[in-house]
Structure 1
């Protein structure tokens, strides 16, 4: 089973803390190209100091900025895989799935259903309140965005899922051998790391409900399905379709998307509805397709040492 396969006497939680420190250092190294680019632009432009994210999107093409922002996740992903293989001495597959190999059909199904629903909800929002959007579409930069998005966006989403729903969830399971504690802790940490996103400054701390709720949803997917495939597909679709379809001046990714949102974010529709309505519906759909059983045991049960 997914968590049990990492429960070993030698996998002390301190070992995971050191592993996370290595991953964090890799992230810092990956940010060097962005920092160098910012320094160069600051020295050769009239940008004030400190530089805001809005300033950066004024002097960098958004496709270039997107690549620079996502580059550090390449280092995070590589570091995570190396830490698992050489520091914990366990197969990389063990932080991805409990199956004998990665189930790509699960990833594709989750990606497809959330991509479809994301598109549907955006079309519905535009139909109901067209004044909240302006057409942002330009063929050339959009096609470049498609290529950049397809290549680069799955890297950070995969890195985040393998760190949070894979490595860190198994780490907390080695500390407290049950299922609810890793689920809760990874959801809280996942939400906390989004605290400095520009969306928080725009909407206020209430958006943490969305971030923590999304982490909880992805954690439930992982525990019920005994692997990260469904979470990987959902997360990739969420970020890719979001980048391609709609942007705004206050989101983390500002892209050459089809639409640009100019209205104010809604507490009900943008935060509460996804967490309280859409995510439970998605869980029901996955439950029907994959025939999940023993919900209480899989989400709150005890774990046993893998000898």
Structure 2
């Protein structure tokens, strides 16, 4: 139980107000963007389609994901310079980053994602179209492998790193840090076209994934596993299957062409209520996690 507590040794990080400038900057941008979308005459999905028509899918993807890569550099620099905190302590409580954990998390979620997508395609083949185009796919593959890990790493360093540590230090509560960051993570996706298409029920998945990443971070004293899982979720999804109403409309291998896409609450329950707890149980056995109550709900001393 050292991931948050390790910062108590650093005088600068005892002042919770130090976390406000970057947080206000980022969420201020998010809020302004949400207002623009709400009062715009063009929906998010229509705006994406217009951008794709103008630039093509690969350049549109690059335009949308590149800012996250820049924000990652900005965040790490802010932590290092302003907080005088090492990037290592933002990442883990271990003496060095455990890259095997990152790879392990990536492999586990890649397999699970492939299984779910495979089942969907086999069970409803008419809803999916093979759209593989080598000349478009391989340039996208290069962009995706280069930038998606930076995008997902920014979200993990911000949510499970920066904010979880900051809220934990401010409230002295692991539960408050876990719940707050998980809910904020879900709300960050409100402007996604998936919400517009499928309804607010999709927020169950986003918030559920936020709790999943948060729980493994607190139990494992680091974000290495979350980095791997999150990267796998976005990379495999973007490369293998997309649609004309998702945030990532890419040159993927398959395209969802279902006429009236809706959220499957059964599938969501299986993913969030069964698969994720089983994965956490497996990780707990593998990495010998103990004292679940204390690590997730205990006070920060």
1:230 to 200, 219, 225: 225
Checking the alignment, whether the CA contact within 8 Å between 2:16 and 2:169 is kept in structure 1 is yes
Could you tell me which residue of structure 1 aligns to residue 80 of structure 2? Answer: 85
Structure 1: where are the runs of 5+ without partners? Answer: 32-47
Match of 1:42 in 2: none
Unaligned runs of 5+ in 2: 34-40
**What TM-score, normalized by structure 2, do the two folds share?**
0.90
Note if contact 1:23-1:79 (Cα within 8 Å) is conserved in structure 2.
no
Match in the other structure for 1:134? 129
SS in 2 for 1:52: helix
- Count residues with an aligned counterpart: 286
1:68 corresponds to: 63
Could you tell me which residue of structure 2 aligns to residue 113 of structure 1? Answer: 108
Could you tell me which residue of structure 1 aligns to residue 269 of structure 2? Answer: 272
Shift of 1:23: 5.1
- 1:250 matched to 2:241? The reply is no
SS in 2 for 1:134: strand
RMSD: 2.0
Distance 2:135 2:29 in 1: 33
Could you tell me whether the CA contact under 8 Å between 2:127 and 2:256 is conserved in 1?
Answer: yes
1:17 aligns with 2:14: no
Matched, 1:204 2:199: yes
Give the one of 260, 270, 289 matched to 1:292. Answer: 289
In structure 1, what is the Cα distance between the partners aligned to 2:266 and 2:104? 25
C-alpha change, 1:214 and 1:160, in structure 2 (3 Å) is: same
Name the TM-score, length of structure 1 as normaliser: 0.88
Which residue is 1:40 aligned to? none
* Equivalence for 2:216: 221
Distance, in Å, in 2 between the alignment partners of 1:214 and 1:60 is 32
**For the Cα contact (< 8 Å) 1:26–1:79, is it kept in 2?**
no
